[in-house]
Amino acid sequence: MKKEMTYLDYAATTPLDPKVLRAMMPFLTLDYGNPSSVHSAGQKAAEAVEKSREKLASFLNCSKEEVVFTGSATEANNLAIFGLVKKIQKLGFKSHIITSEIEHHAVIEPFKILEKQGVEVTYLPVDGEGRISFSEMEKAMKENTVLVSIMYANNEVGTIQPIKEISELIKKNRKKLFSTDYQIPFFHTDAVQAVNYLDCDVNNLGVDLFTLSGHKIYGPKGVGALYVRKGTPLEPIILGGGQESGLRSGTENVAGIVGLGEAISQIKRQKSRLRQGHSTLRVSDIRPEDSVPRDSMNSMSFGGRAKNKNLQRLRDKLIIGIIKTIPGAKLNGSAKDRLPNNANFSFKGAEGEAMVIALDQKGIAVSTGSACSSKSLEPSHVLVALGLSEEEAHTSLRVTLGRGTKEQDIIKILKELPIIVKKLREISGKFN
């Protein structure tokens, strides 16, 4: 990345923390042993893997044995979903599984495959802000529901789901799966976008399976982890040498795992430093004609549970600035239950992809939504589930902030974007 690039796409990936790189370096160079080897070089690598596992366990408030390293969060989601359903299928049980309409593709696609294979599936709808409804969820739960998978925070619009409350609802509806000790349904959450900002104590949250990713938390790409609560039935989806307690064969990505451990330790430290944020303003309170006095800007915030105040302040400056300067700009997602680093807008008459390209030419990196769907012409399934028309969904822009974001970056996008939107609207003629 060029130094002068304004990077505002932290939900797609984050830069590697220099401390993380430093921790990884020995295992990319001198300490290249295979953790399965008996000799001391192998044992050194094995120890490093176990140390990292301890760091994750301490962060998640679980035991070491409950942490499984994978090659990505995508793989962790696949392991959680296929692994659980396959294991229960082996008992000859006809399963029903539940997820939401706004999950990442790494959850949606496994659900679709299982559905094709005859597993009964419910996709829960969400409200206009991207929240699932408890009553819909309660209605969806059946005698044979074995798995509920609901993401902690959405990667496109940043909506936070009340995971603890959902797990309490699930617990209330739990029953013993006949002839086993399993209490169904089990609860999985894809927490990839939440790890930087929200509570990740798996016992407090009450989840059985919890997915995280290295490269979304200033760690390396190509490594993820799945928390698996003791006693959760899981069948491996990758078979071989039996690494990771048989749940994920393949020689461990030692440097990646060490990097993930260091990235997690950094977040743990950062979280203990930050205090709870506040929500004082609703999006519905803001109209373009509102003039927001400069001094009061700092006290305004979206995203009630956010802990990172400075990030949130910059993000709110962005949201308020955009809504004030671009006519008809609309904020997608939730005003209150929102990640502190996420802003997602629709600009009627301006095409998302065109805005991304034009901003890139000005040295600003943003996204239309998820990195995965941006290559296809399909509208974002998340925005459609929030009730946007396909046309509206094609006019969306996701701006996500992170540790490196400076006041100057926000000033820069606030200067460039209104000009770009105006031009694109003139070309399309779809906004007057």
Ligand X SMILES: *Cc1c(COP(=O)(O)O)cnc(C)c1O
Cα angle, residue 317 at apex, residues 316 and 318 outer, rounded to 5°: 85
According to DSSP, the β-strands at 342-347 and 224-228 are unpaired
DSSP 239-259: -SS-TGGGTS-S---HHHHHH
Residues catalogued as catalytic: 372
Q: Which helix (H) or strand (E) is 330 found in, with range?
A: strand 329-331
Closest approach of Cβ 154 to ligand X, in Å? 7
Closest approach of Cβ 155 to ligand X, in Å? 3
Decide whether 11 or 88 has the Cβ nearer to ligand X.
11
Cα 239 to the center of its chain, rounded Å: 27
Among residues 97, 88, 86, 90, the alpha carbon closest in space to that of 120 is found at 97
Decide whether 49 or 106 has the Cβ nearer to ligand X.
106
Answer for which of 6, 122, 193, 344 binds ligand X (CB under 6 A) is: 193
Residue 38's contacts (CB-CB under 8 Å, 6 or more residues apart) are none
* Dihedral sign from CA coordinates of 70, 149, 394, 285: negative
Among residues 146, 89, 83, the alpha carbon closest in space to that of 117 is found at 89
Answer for which of 17, 129, 190, 337 binds ligand X (CB under 6 A) is: 190
Q: Which stretch binds ligand X (CB under 6 A): 116-124, 129-137, 190-198, 358-366?
A: 190-198
Closest approach of Cβ 419 to ligand X, in Å? 30
Q: Which stretch binds ligand X (CB under 6 A): 188-196, 259-267, 277-285, 292-300?
A: 188-196
Backbone dihedral region for residue 193 (phi beyond 0: left; psi -120 to 50: alpha; all else: beta): alpha
Closest approach of Cβ 348 to ligand X, in Å? 27
Q: What is the total count of residues that contact ligand X (CB under 6 A)?
A: 13
Site string for ligand X, 14-53 (x = CB under 6 A): ----------------------------------------
Measured CA to CA in angstroms, residue 423 lies from 6, 183, 319, 397 at distances of 21, 57, 20, 16
| Alpha-helix residue ranges (DSSP H) falling in 61-218 | 73-89, 105-116, 134-140, 163-172, 202-205
Q: Which stretch binds ligand X (CB under 6 A): 27-35, 51-59, 177-185, 189-197?
A: 189-197
Question: Interface residues for ligand X in 69-98 (CB under 6 A)?
Answer: 72-74
Question: Interface residues for ligand X in 212-251 (CB under 6 A)?
Answer: 213, 216, 224
DSSP bridge partners of 186: 147
Decide whether 104 or 317 has the Cβ nearer to ligand X.
104
Q: Which stretch binds ligand X (CB under 6 A): 125-133, 187-195, 337-345, 405-413?
A: 187-195
Question: Interface residues for ligand X in 247-276 (CB under 6 A)?
Answer: none
| Alpha-helix residue ranges (DSSP H) falling in 2-104 | 18-28, 40-60, 73-89
According to DSSP, the β-strands at 120-124 and 96-100 are parallel
**Residue 132 DSSP label:** B
Decide whether 167 or 213 has the Cβ nearer to ligand X.
213
Closest approach of Cβ 152 to ligand X, in Å? 8
Question: Interface residues for ligand X in 124-163 (CB under 6 A)?
Answer: 151, 155
Closest approach of Cβ 308 to ligand X, in Å? 18
Please report, as ranges, the residues that interact with ligand X according to CB under 6 A. 72-74, 104, 106, 151, 155, 190, 192-193, 213, 216, 224
